[in-house]
Amino acid sequence: MAIAQTKNETLSGTDKVAIVLLSMGDEFIAETFKHLEKEEVTAISKSILNLKTVDTETVTGIMQEFHIALSSMVEAVTGGRETVKRVLNKTLDTETAKYILDTLNLERETVPFKELSTVSPRILSQILRNEHPQTVALILGHLQSEKAAEVLMQLPEGLKIEVTKRLATLDAIPEEILHDVDNALQKQIMAMGGTEGRKVGGIGTVAEILNATDRATEELVLTELEEENPQIASKIRELMFVFEDIIDIDDKGIREMLKEINMQDLAMALRTASSELKTKIFNNMSERAAKMLEEDMEVMGPARVADIEAAQQRIVKVVRTLEADGKIMISRGANDVLI
């Protein structure tokens, strides 16, 4: 069962590794898995599966712990604006260094309210509801219109009106005042715990990660999971390849699939398919078979979404079986190259 993780709970070492990897993104995880032993991949995958929501403070603490562990093994490496300036001025002539620095905009002042892009509208609206309307208008004026709209919608009715009035008549504000407001706002955000905890882990996350790995890793993890929990393993497999993904199978594979599936299932499954997928299916059928399928779809009465999805799942299972038998290939992205 998926569990919510908070700062008050004790996380295992494997759980912490899973959280660090999830913070890095699916592609990073897939690449990391290639360099681990099968037992390690399986253990981490199980932790990812069981994780649900991790609050921001817990994630930050684990990342800091990870950083300290790295720092104890290697000499600290410092980057940032000053490091770039020092290196460029030391290694390049003055004119070239200045050109690169100008291109990178390193000499410019920091942009006020830039950090707000990572703060959720919910938290931001909670902070701003106690501020003066002029201050709120000033801050919303520096957000992207979509995010400003989300924040505005969550403010109290009276404040919405006052903020909108001031926003419409907002004049130029001295940079010093903007930075003062920004600094004060950042302190409030930190006091509230920064951004909201984000959902990590779960069946969907495991499916996305395994989709990005090679087949050997995928089968290793799923085989282990099937022994422990066949139901969860089945759900992961279903999420890893959906009916619409059939469009990525080559024409030879489509024709192989058409030999094995039930045509009534296909007629039902195509009810909600994209026009591109329908075209690909029809193009790989004989003219007579395509016409019969079109007629079946036309005379078919209204169908429940559940029935359509069930037909699609039956076809997906056939596709997965054909792939396991080596009769068709399911594309796994840019790294899945035929030689």
pLDDT of 108 strictly over 60: no
Closest CA to 41 of 239, 174, 221, 286: 221
Domain 114-191 shares a fold with domain 243-339: yes
How many CB atoms are closer than 10 A to CB 323?
A: 17
- pLDDT of 17 above 60: yes
Mean pLDDT, rounded, for 236-244: 78
Summarised one tens digit per residue, pLDDT across range 255-268 is: 999 999 999 999 99
| pLDDT given for residue 191 in this prediction | 59
Does residue 243 surpass a pLDDT of 80? yes
**Cβ-contact 251, 284 below 8 angstroms:** yes
Pick the CATH number of 243-339 from 1.20.1560.10, 2.60.40.680, 3.30.300.180, 1.10.220.30: 1.10.220.30
Q: Which two tokens stand for residue 312?
A: 């699609």
Class of domain 114-191: mainly alpha
Q: End-to-end distance of the chain based on CA atoms, in angstroms?
A: 42
Q: What average pLDDT does range 294-309 have in this prediction? A: 85
- From the CB of residue 268, how many other CB atoms can be counted at a distance below 10 Å? 22
Taking the CA atoms of the chain, what radius of gyration do you get in angstroms? 27
Name the nearest CA neighbour of 36 among 221, 226, 256. 221
**DSSP states along 130-188:** TS-HHHHHHHHTTS-HHHHHHHHHTS-HHHHHHHHHHHHT-----HHHHHHHHHHHHHH
User: Which span out of 20-34, 128-142, 201-215 was modeled with the highest average pLDDT?
Assistant: 128-142
| Distance from C-alpha of 63 to C-alpha of 317, rounded to nearest angstrom | 40
**Confidence class for position 87, pLDDT limits 50, 70, 90:** low
d(CA 286, CA 255): 10
Q: What is the DSSP string of 256-298?
A: HHHHHS-HHHHHHHGGG--HHHHHHHHHTS-HHHHHHHHHHHH
The yes-or-no verdict on residue 8 having pLDDT over 80 is no
Yes or no: say if 202 and 49 are a contact pair by the CB < 8 Å rule.
yes
Q: What is the mean pLDDT of residues 311-329?
A: 86
Q: Residue 303 carries which side chain, given as an amino acid letter?
A: A
Give the span between the Cα atoms of 181 and 185, in whole angstroms: 6
For residue 40, which of 220, 201, 233 has the smallest C-alpha distance?
A: 220
**Residue 291 confidence class, pLDDT cut points 50, 70, 90:** very high
* 2-16, 96-110, 277-291 — most confident range: 277-291
User: What's the confidence (pLDDT) of residue 337?
Assistant: 44
CA 147/CA 310 separation, integer angstroms: 39
13-27, 107-121, 170-184, 280-294: which is most confident: 280-294
Burial letters 101-133, b for 16+ CB under 10 A, else e = beeeeeeeeeebbeebeebbbebbbebbeebeb
The domain ranges of the chain are 114-191, 243-339
* CB-based contacts of 152, cutoff 8 Å, min separation 6: 140, 160, 163, 164
Question: d(Cα 13, Cα 21) in Å, to the nearest integer?
Answer: 12
pLDDT in tens, 136-166: 888 888 888 788 888 888 888 788 888 887 8
Query: What is the pLDDT at residue 258?
Result: 94
